[in-house]
C-alpha cells in the first residue's frame, strides 16, 4: 500500500482506526440466511464485478450490508412506497429469484452472468415479475436500496480508492496542490 503512496501514518488516529477496522474486522453474516447471502454475493458480483481479483482478494460487500441490517442502522428516511429496510431486502432478494425463475426457470445463483444481468435489468426497469414486487416496487428498490448499498461499500475500500485514482484521506495535513492537475507529493 505505501508503495502506492497511501501512508496510513499520515492519517489521524480516528481515521486510521476506521479504515483498519474496515480491512481487518469484516463482520460475520448474521442477518441474511445462507441462501440469501449466496444470492446477494451473486448480485453484488454483477453490480460491482471483481472477476479480475482472486477470490480472497475481493472487496467484501455482503458482510457490511448484513451488518447494517443486523444492527438495523437506518438512513434517516425511507421512500413511502418501500417497507422498512429489513423487510425490503428480504422481499427484494426473494423477488429477484422469482423473476429469475419466471424468465429462465432457474434461481438467480444458477444463471450465467449474462442471464443474471438480464434479470437485474428487469429489476432496474421495474419490469420483473414475481409477487414480492407487489410490496417492494422493483425500480425503486434497485435505485434506492440495492445499487447504492453495494456501490457505497465497494468505494469505501482502499483498493477501490486506488482504482479510482484517489490516494485516500489526507488529514490532518490537507492538500497543498489544489489547482488543476495539482498533485501533492504523496499522490504521485
Partner 1 sequence: MSEGRTLHAPGIHGETVPMRDLAHQEVDFCVIGAGAGGGVVGAKLAEAGFEVVILEAGPHWDPTRDFVSDELGSYRLFWTDERISGGADPVELGSNNSGRGVGGSTVHYSMVKMRARREDFRRRSLDGSVAGAELSDWPLSFEELEPYYEEIEDALQVAGPAFYPWGRRRRRFPQREHELSAKAEVLVRGCTKLDIPVAPAPVSTLSAPHGDRPPCVYRGFCNYGCTTNAKSSILVTYIPRAIHAGAEVRPDAMAVRIEHDTRGRVHGVVYFRGEDRAPRLQRARAVIVAGYSVETPRLLLNSASPAFPDGLANSSGMVGRCFMIHSGHQVFARFAERVNPYKSPPGLALSEHFNRTMPGAGFIGGYTVEVVGPHVGDFATRVAGARGLWGDDLRRLMRDYTHYSGIGIVGEVLPQRRNFVSLHPTERDVHGLPVPRIEFGYHDNDRRLIEHAVARMKEIMAAAGGQDVWSADRTAHLLGTCRMGRDAATSVVDADCRSHDVPNLFICDGSVFPTATAANPSLTIEAIAARCADRIRDLARRGELS
Q: Provide the binding-site residues for partner 1, judged by CB under 8 A.
A: 11-12, 14-15, 17-19, 22, 46-49, 73-81, 84, 117, 120, 124, 143, 147-148, 151-156, 160-161, 163-166, 169-176, 178-183
DSSP secondary structure letter of residue 49: -
Query: What count of residues does the chain have?
Result: 188
Contact partners, residue 144, CB within 8 Å, separation at least 6: 79, 82
Nearest distance, CB of residue 83 and partner 1, angstroms: 11
**Cell numbers for 121:** 435489468
Nearest distance, CB of residue 34 and partner 1, angstroms: 25
Judged by beta carbon, residue 16 or residue 101, the one nearer partner 1 is 16
DSSP secondary structure letter of residue 81: T
Judged by beta carbon, residue 106 or residue 173, the one nearer partner 1 is 173
DSSP secondary structure letter of residue 33: -
Judged by beta carbon, residue 13 or residue 105, the one nearer partner 1 is 13
Q: At what angle do helices 147-154 and 34-47 cross, to 10 degrees?
A: 70
Nearest distance, CB of residue 168 and partner 1, angstroms: 8
Judged by beta carbon, residue 33 or residue 49, the one nearer partner 1 is 49
Nearest distance, CB of residue 88 and partner 1, angstroms: 12
Cα 48 to Cα 44, 61, 92, 161, distances in angstroms: 6, 9, 18, 14
Judged by beta carbon, residue 131 or residue 166, the one nearer partner 1 is 166
- Residue 171 near residue 11, CB atoms below 8 Å: yes
Nearest distance, CB of residue 120 and partner 1, angstroms: 8
Amino acid at each position: 500500500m505505501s508503495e502506492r503512496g497511501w501512508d496510513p501514518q499520515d492519517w489521524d488516529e480516528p481515521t486510521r482506526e476506521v479504515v483498519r477496522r474496515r480491512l481487518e474486522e469484516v463482520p460475520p453474516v448474521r442477518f441474511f440466511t445462507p441462501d440469501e447471502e449466496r444470492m446477494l454475493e451473486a448480485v453484488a458480483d454483477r453490480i460491482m464485478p471483481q472477476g479480475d481479483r482472486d477470490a480472497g482478494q475481493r472487496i467484501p460487500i455482503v458482510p457490511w450490508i448484513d451488518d447494517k441490517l443486523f444492527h438495523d442502522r437506518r438512513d434517516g428516511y425511507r421512500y413511502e412506497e418501500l417497507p422498512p429496510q429489513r423487510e425490503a431486502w428480504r422481499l427484494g432478494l426473494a423477488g429477484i429469484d422469482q423473476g429469475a425463475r419466471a424468465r429462465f426457470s432457474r434461481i438467480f445463483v444458477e444463471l450465467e452472468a449474462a442471464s443474471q444481468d438480464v434479470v437485474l435489468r428487469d429489476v432496474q426497469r421495474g419490469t420483473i415479475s414475481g409477487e414480492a414486487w407487489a410490496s417492494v416496487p422493483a425500480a425503486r428498490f434497485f435505485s434506492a436500496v440495492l445499487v447504492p448499498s453495494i456501490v457505497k461499500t465497494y468505494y469505501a475500500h482502499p483498493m477501490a480508492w486506488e482504482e479510482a485514482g484517489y490516494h485516500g484521506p489526507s488529514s490532518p495535513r490537507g492538500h497543498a496542490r489544489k489547482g488543476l492537475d495539482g498533485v501533492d507529493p504523496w499522490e504521485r
